[in-house]
A and B are shown apart, each in its own frame.
Chain A
Amino acid sequence: MIRRILSKVVASVAVVVAAASATFLAQLAVPGDRATALMNLQTGQDKKWTAQELAPLNAKYGFDDPIVVQYLHYVTGLFRGDLGTSYTQKRPVAEVIGGQLLPSVTLTVAALAVAWLLALGVTLLTVKRGRILSSLGSAWEALTASLPHYWVGVVLLVVFAVQLRVFPIIGGTSAWGTVLPVLTLAIPLAGFLGQVTRDEFTQVLEQPFVTTARTRGMSDLGVRLRHVLRHAVLPAITLSGWALGALISGAVIAENIFGRPGIGQVLVTAVNTRDLPTVSGIVLVVAAVYVVANLLVDLAYAVVDPRLAR
């Protein structure tokens, strides 16, 4: 078990370093000279600059150093928490992101929890419970699973904020204002998790050990809760790491729709202004968050399925 965890941790560090290398390469891949692009960005002009004019920038950002040196500088900087300097805000990227991280994490974690609750509720209530209820349940899941986040967000906004005025249009980070963004993320995910769980649930219900439990005199509800449920959630737990990725993508959109502060807002602005250090910084932070989350998912899996703890 300890070996497994250790190798997971090593792999996680490798993931972050790989992501760092990828973002570093991305920064190099920007067409044209970086100092020129930066100068244009900062002055709002579009022209050729002389070598003299560019020299201070080249010195400041180390654009003249050999690529290997730049790379090492970048990666070692990361371990000291230095994500580089934003081209547009001229502040350290870590600082730009720092304040925005918490609202985004709150949003995603809340959405994951709500999605699981929704999915389990719908599945438990409807799976293999007569034809009508079952088909209603699976139709709901199929529909919600294929809804794009932006559309769910816009519909929720128009219906509940603009028309019914139940929720604020721009919610900020207040609890009440968080409801719609969370639902925006949770509804499609719940549909997806529900589909996976329902498929597994249906299959597990047919397994011999379920029949065995019935031959002992167990009720249908008992069978579902005591035996089937635990098996049925395994695939969805495996997919939770992936789901988290989908949630982060969705969070960018949800924050955008509801004008909610968070790294999503920063990211979109940064991509628009082609502020690569900030984009890279966010990608890296998300990679780190993702890695930690996956470790947690692995642990959760081992708790539910002791076969893996061997």
Chain B
Amino acid sequence: MTSLAERLDRQLPTTTALVEVENLRVSFGDTEVVRGISFTARPGECLAIVGESGSGKSVTARTLVGLTGSNASVTADRLDLGGADLRHASERAWRRLRGRQVGFVLQDALVSLDQLRRVGDEVAEPLRLHGWGTRRSRPAKAIELLDAVGVPEPEVRARQRPYELSGGLRQRALIASAIALDPPLLIADEPTTALDVTVQAQVLDLLAAAKERGTSIILISHDLSVVARLADEVAVMREGEIVEYGAASQVLQEPRHEYTRMLLDAIPSEHTRGTRLTGSTARVRRPVDEGVPVLQARNLTKVFRGPDKVDRTVVDDVSFELFGGETLGIVGESGSGKTTLARMALAILRAEAGEVLLRGEPWTALTPGQRRPLRKQIGVVYQDPLSSFDPRWSVGRILTDALSTAAHPPSSQTEARQRAVRLLEQVGLGEHHLSAAPLRLSGGQRQRVAIARALAPEPSVIVCDEPASALDVSIQAQVLDLLTDLQDDLGVSYLFISHDLGVIHHMSDRILVMKDGRVVEHGSADDVFERPRHPYTRRLLTAVPRLRPA
């Protein structure tokens, strides 16, 4: 138990704790994934457990409902919920507790709700399981719950199935089912991951409302800025241990542990513009070449025909210019058409109208045969590098293959190998990676190989489609730093696509804000972020979770 003195020292409030965990250890076979952690959660407060993938945060959450799986061994000096010792709880005892004492919200309601059942039945399921009400009274209660979490037309929604609801409504329905029996503890495991930023803000507000009503919330997240909106206390986990634990204001503003500091520094935002994220040194930029744009789009339009035979305009009359050595950021929520735009710029997808010029010359207007020799001027880096590598190929073969498309392809095997090694060194890898299969590399290393491949033909533009979105924040920082370093060294231009406003602000010189296939705002990064003109941009910016007031 933490002593009162310690609590005062950590600026922790002294209310009676709802959850008290001491020296919790969880192992699967010989691997210990949670290594002796202790924490407390209090009514009306939110404890956030933050960490990167593999930190053990999700496993910790599951031990609190006894769902770590049969092959896990869990020990603790103390595992109390509302005064009850859960260390030796039977499966029956756990079942009585789940749903009634503890509500649990998982990420992405599309897969966390049963697609084949009606939303109302899903919401009412905890009621039924714990014998609340009758077969007749439960549907009404489900509608009431949906209404309470802000689902419009709850009677209609209750009869629909999860896939018929938008992402935000689904997530609300999932929360409604978790709080159906008004449990004193609500555990939310990455509840806003995969949601658009505006929807994410709404879901966080909902959790905040539950907190106001006195519910104790344990929020599991990889995202420190999301946590900042809700948490009273923050525990930072790394490799199964809590490295820093304290009041949210202290952990996020004056972090004491080096790892916390590194995590906070790694978050790209307006404050990190023009600096590197690792090491915080300033960038040495090359001047932007204001002559002929290296890539120019004129009135691009793309129409897709849906399975219902209805045409949808996915990209609508979009124009942009990208100059030498510059980064043009394209930001938008899911379905805004940004990836389609990128594919048209690459001339992989044909536009219905409009055209793209590459260094002032026709590009999309050419035939595929005419375009092929010019392809070396434009490279691409995808969000998921692994799927962009032929699974049979080694890193060396991937790079030498890319080198063969360069303006001056290597004339011998030895030269090809030397140039592949040079590329690897440019992206922070080494000769020993040549023989590796991409499958055996880490996510960050794979993305480095993908960048090396894009660089191989010495392009003047690289299209980056969410290049760091699938990575942990510390790895994301390294990849973004690599991209800016390469730009400063080589003067390459980036068409940089992301849903993350912080990343876009950090990376871009100029920004295009897209919504429903249209450009709603276009300007320099500072203009767009500090003097947004379009109401949508303003809405986006207020929804962005921030660590500190701007």
Contact = CB atoms under 8 A, between A and B. Distances in A.
A181 to B, nearest CB: 36
B98 A230 contact: no
Interface residues of B, number: 30
B125 A216 contact: yes
B465 interface: no
B106 A212 contact: yes
B310 interface: no
B99 A215 contact: yes
Interface in B160-188: 161, 163, 174, 177-178
Contacts of A305: 116
A209 interface: yes
Nearest to B308: A310
Contacts of A214: 65, 67, 98
B126 to A, nearest CB: 4
B53 to A, nearest CB: 16
Interface string B290-303: 00000000000000
Contacts of A231: 114, 116
Most B CB within 10 A of own CB, among A209, A219, A222: A209
Residue from the set B103, B107, B112, B126 with the largest chain A CB neighbour count within 10 Å: B112
A213 B104 CA distance: 10
Nearest to B95: A217
B129 interface: yes
A217 B96 contact: yes
Q: How large is the interface on A (under 10, 10 to 19, 20 to 34, 35 or more residues)?
A: 20 to 34
A213 B114 contact: yes
B114 A209 contact: yes
Nearest to A207: B111
Nearest to B61: A215
B161 A209 contact: no
Contacts of A299: none
B232 to A, nearest CB: 23
A208 B130 contact: no
Nearest to A212: B112
A218 interface: yes
Interface in B48-102: 65, 67, 95-100, 102
B426 to A, nearest CB: 40
B355 interface: no
Contact of B98 (A207, A217, A307): A217
A250 to B, nearest CB: 32
A218 B114 contact: no
B452 interface: no
A230 B118 CA distance: 14
Given A214-B98, A216-B129, A217-B95, A208 B106 contact: yes
Given A209-B112, A306-B161, A307-B115, A216 B106 contact: no
Contacts of B95: 217-219
Given A218-B125, A218-B129, A211 B116 contact: no
B116 A230 contact: yes
A217 B116 contact: no
A294 B130 CA distance: 42
B397 to A, nearest CB: 33
B111 A208 contact: yes
Interface string A298-310: 0000001111000
Interface string A192-216: 0000000000000001110111111
A305 B114 CA distance: 11
A227 interface: yes
A209 B102 contact: no
Nearest to A310: B164
A253 B95 CA distance: 52
7 contacts: A208-B112, A209-B113, A211-B106, A213-B114, A214-B98, A215-B65, A307-B115
The 7 closest A-B pairs by CB, nearest first: A215-B104, A217-B99, A216-B99, A217-B98, A216-B126, A208-B112, A208-B111
Given A216-B125, A222-B129, A304-B116, 8 more contacts: A209-B111, A212-B174, A213-B114, A215-B98, A216-B126, A217-B97, A231-B114, A306-B161
